[in-house]
Every structure is written in structure tokens, then in C-alpha cells.
């Protein structure tokens, strides 16, 4: 999982996360280049190194960020309201990963197999879930990075 | 990782999606795991997760089966 990423790579990764949380979407290569005052090609190479290092996931054949775990750039059944913003999580675990990452209260709306939304929340570091829910992890840990979208 | 209402619903979900059954955790346990896994994700010193550190987190929250550590 950890490859030979440079300090600058990790700084770009962190900037991607901050932008993603602030704007409810990931930054393009151009937006990151402008924000960090780094040339476009260098930022593009960083994006692809971060992708190869599993630090972010790009859409195949593009420079577009699909995932910066626990954040999803595409709509999912897991929508998290946090600090006045709405963010999509990649999965049920990641729906709790967002409040864990931001150390903030959150309200989560999720759908189960396309049904009516269910809600749970983090309040003061505690899970508030009116109903009893479970999470199914279909893939063993050692296979998680074979296909992150499926995982 | 999919949210469901019960263990029985997991079996139905696996049948209908033709997926093998993996591990099932109560949502409260997943909150513990999320805090341990994602708590440092926006720390400027975060440098990724090695397999050993991932295993340590799983053990920390009581996940010690082959599914997590294998």
C-alpha cells in the first residue's frame, strides 16, 4: 500500500482532501496546480503516483479523482451531512469514516438495496442508530486493493 | 461494504447479488473501526497504511480472524 511517494506527493494528497471536503467534490488537476502554484504536468504526475500508491483512486484512463477514501466523487447510497456540507461516502464503513476523519458530528442518510432512506448519526463521538444495523464486508482485507470500487 | 438490517438480510443479499458471505459487524463496531482507521487520515504526517499497521488496527478493535489478518 505504501509506495515511494514523496513529501510533496503527500502534501498534494492532503490538499486534495481539504478541497474535497470544502467543495463537496474533488479538485481537477488544473485546480490543484493553481491552488498549490505547481505546474500542471507535475500535478498530473502526482495524481497518478498517488493512484498507483492507493492514496487516491482515479477514474480509469483519466486524471479525475473517483475516490479519496472515505470520500466518493460519485453519488452513492451513503450521504453524509457534516459541518453544513453533504459528502458522499464510498460504502457503509466510509459513511462513518467521514465523521471519524473530520472529528465532527454527522448525520448519515443511507439506502439499503434501493429502499427508503435510513438514518443514523454521530453525536458527541457516539453512534446514534435508532434501528439495529449491520455491515457486510464481502472481501477479505488482503484482496481489498484488487478492485477498490467493488470492495 | 454494505449496510443491512440483520444477519438474515446478509444471506439474502449474498444470494441476490451472487456474492460470497464475508464478515458481518454491528454498525457500532464499524464506528470503532472507522475511528481507528480514518482518525489520522487528514493529519499532515499521514503517510499511508502499511499492512502491519492495518493489522494492528484490526487487532485494536477486536478483529483477529483470518478474514482481517490473513
- Give residue B34's domain range: 25-69
- CA B33/CA B67 separation, integer angstroms: 15
Q: Do A140 and B48 make contact, defined as CB atoms within 8 angstroms? A: no
Question: Has residue B45 been placed in a domain?
Answer: yes
Question: Has residue B37 been placed in a domain?
Answer: yes
Nearest-CA distance A93 → chain B (Å): 6
Question: Has residue B41 been placed in a domain?
Answer: yes
Chain A residue whose CA is closest to B30: A93
Please, which residues have CB within 8 angstroms of residue A147's CB and are 6 or more apart in sequence? none
Residues from chain B that touch A12, judged by Cβ atoms under 8 A, are none
Q: How many domains does chain B have?
A: 1
Question: Has residue B30 been placed in a domain?
Answer: yes
Task: Please state whether beta strands A71-72 and A65-68 pair in parallel, antiparallel, or not at all (unpaired).
Answer: antiparallel
pLDDT at position A151 over 80: no
Q: What is the pLDDT of residues A11-64, one digit of tens each?
A: 999 999 999 999 999 999 999 999 999 999 999 999 999 999 999 999 999 999
pLDDT band for position A87 (cuts 50, 70, 90): very high
Q: Do B70 and A141 make contact, defined as CB atoms within 8 angstroms? A: yes
pLDDT at position A1 over 90: no
CB B27 within 8 A of CB A134: yes
- CA A42/CA A46 separation, integer angstroms: 6
Question: Has residue B15 been placed in a domain?
Answer: no
CB A141 within 8 A of CB B33: no
Q: Do A136 and B28 make contact, defined as CB atoms within 8 angstroms? A: no
Over chain B (70 residues), the average pLDDT of each successive run of 10 is 93 91 96 97 94 94 95
Chain B residue whose CA is closest to A16: B42
Question: Has residue B19 been placed in a domain?
Answer: no
CB neighbours of residue A9 within 10 Å: 19
Question: Has residue B1 been placed in a domain?
Answer: no
Q: Do A91 and B2 make contact, defined as CB atoms within 8 angstroms? A: yes
ipTM over cut 0.85: yes
Q: Do A135 and B19 make contact, defined as CB atoms within 8 angstroms? A: no
- CA B55/CA B70 separation, integer angstroms: 9
Chain B residue whose CA is closest to A50: B48
Amino acid at each position: 500500500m505504501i509506495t515511494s511517494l514523496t513529501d510533496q506527493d503527500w502534501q498534494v494528497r492532503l490538499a486534495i482532501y481539504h478541497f474535497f471536503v470544502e467543495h463537496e467534490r474533488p479538485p481537477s488537476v488544473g485546480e490543484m496546480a493553481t491552488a498549490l502554484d505547481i505546474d500542471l504536468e507535475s500535478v498530473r504526475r502526482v495524481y497518478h503516483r498517488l493512484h498507483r500508491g492507493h492514496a487516491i483512486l482515479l477514474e480509469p484512463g483519466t486524471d479525475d479523482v473517483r475516490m479519496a477514501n472515505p470520500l466518493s466523487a460519485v453519488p452513492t447510497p451513503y450521504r453524509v451531512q457534516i459541518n453544513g456540507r453533504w459528502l458522499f461516502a464510498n460504502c457503509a464503513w466510509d459513511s462513518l469514516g467521514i465523521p471519524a476523519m473530520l472529528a465532527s458530528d454527522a448525520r448519515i442518510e443511507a439506502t439499503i438495496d434501493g429502499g427508503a432512506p435510513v438514518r443514523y448519526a454521530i453525536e458527541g463521538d457516539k453512534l446514534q442508530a435508532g434501528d439495529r444495523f449491520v455491515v457486510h464486508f464481502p472481501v477479505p482485507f488482503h484482496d481489498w486493493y484488487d478492485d477498490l470500487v467493488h470492495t | 461494504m454494505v449496510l443491512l438490517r440483520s444477519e438474515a438480510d446478509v444471506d439474502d443479499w449474498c444470494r441476490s447479488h451472487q456474492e460470497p458471505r464475508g464478515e458481518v459487524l454491528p454498525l457500532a463496531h464499524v464506528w470503532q473501526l472507522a475511528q481507528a482507521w480514518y482518525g489520522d487520515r487528514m493529519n499532515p504526517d499521514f503517510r499511508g497504511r502499511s499492512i502491519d499497521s492495518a493489522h494492528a488496527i484490526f487487532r485494536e478493535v477486536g478483529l483477529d480472524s483470518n478474514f482481517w489478518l490473513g
